[in-house]
Amino acid sequence: MTITERERDAVRAEFGAHHAVTTPARGLACWTPDEPDDNQFGVIVSQAMGRSNMPAEQSVQKLVEDWRPEVLVVVGTAGGIARPGADGVLEGPSTGDIICVEYVHYAAFAKYDSGRRYLRYFPMQHPDNFLITSDVRHVETSLDWHEGLMTPPSGETTPPRVRVGELVSLEVVAGDSRAPGQQDLLKDFDHAIAVDMESGGVARAMHTASDTVYYRPAWLAIRGVSDLTGDTATVQDLLAGNNEERAQWTPYAAAAAARFAHRLVERILARGREPFDDPGARSWTPVPQR
């Protein structure tokens, strides 16, 4: 699943998803690399209803209802979180790097009381650890996953790094580290390496997607870093203009995320899976309620 038009176009081009398919219900627009006549699709590419967590949650609910995917991969761009390091040098991800999310913090759910901000929580399903430790790490160490990518705006020839870490999901575009509101939202998450506006909704929807003992879908988020942000004015003083940087790097970040996701999905599909019927499923006679 992608979020923006640019992300959608990058993923469709990377996967060769040129065939529009009709959803079983009134769902999202979807495309597949497979011939539509087959009615059996290994890969479905879709675009969320809109940006931010609520449209993302609703979109995942529709995808689960229509297609019952085994693995959902959210592909797109995100902001990298920069932090002050030694000698005034910023530490953290760089523009163009790939972020694989291992844990989602939803920062917008909180309570303000007596001048303090207290975090609140609701159940979420975080990205699948097995897919990260097995498949993501395998693709990360592959020497050819990034071959043929467009030249980054920096002109560098070194491949983008793959970073696995925590992400903060917000309801605002975190574009100004000097803003007190942004500092307030990010300061509690000192290990987070990226920020977006959708992963909280996806994690919430995936928690409720497991509706039977036989259906337990997993998910991953693969994000290319299109710009850098932070939680202090000191960081902002060392950063380039956020909007200008995002406009410059988004095409490359989206293409890099799409390429990495393509190699990842190829590895997942290479394992195959036989048709599944649970031989151990038990039945029982309903017991009248008291």
User: Hey, where are the domains in the chain?
Assistant: 72-270
CA–CA distance, 261 with 132 (Å, rounded to integer): 12
Structure tokens of 257? 């995320």
CA–CA distance, 33 with 282 (Å, rounded to integer): 38
Tens of pLDDT, residues 82-105: 887 777 777 889 999 999 999 999
Q: Which residues pair with 45 in a beta bridge?
A: 31
CA–CA distance, 200 with 124 (Å, rounded to integer): 8
Tens of pLDDT, residues 192-216: 999 999 999 999 999 999 888 788 9
Angle 242-270/5-15 helices, nearest 10 degrees?
30
pTM as predicted = 0.89
Across 99-103, 104-108, 235-239, least confident range: 235-239
What are φ and ψ of residue 242, in 5° steps? -65, -45
Tens of pLDDT, residues 129-168: 999 999 999 999 987 899 999 999 988 888 899 999 999 9
* Alpha-carbon torsion, ordered 168, 52, 224, 35, to 10 deg: 140
pLDDT at 35: 80
Find, among 98, 34, 47, the residue nearest to 249 by Cα: 98
CA–CA distance, 144 with 138 (Å, rounded to integer): 12
What are φ and ψ of residue 3, in 5° steps? -115, -60
Continuous segment of H or E residues that includes residue 237: helix 233-238
Continuous segment of H or E residues that includes residue 111: strand 110-113
The CATH number corresponding to 72-270 among 3.90.280.10, 3.40.50.1580, 3.40.718.10, 3.40.50.300 equals 3.40.50.1580
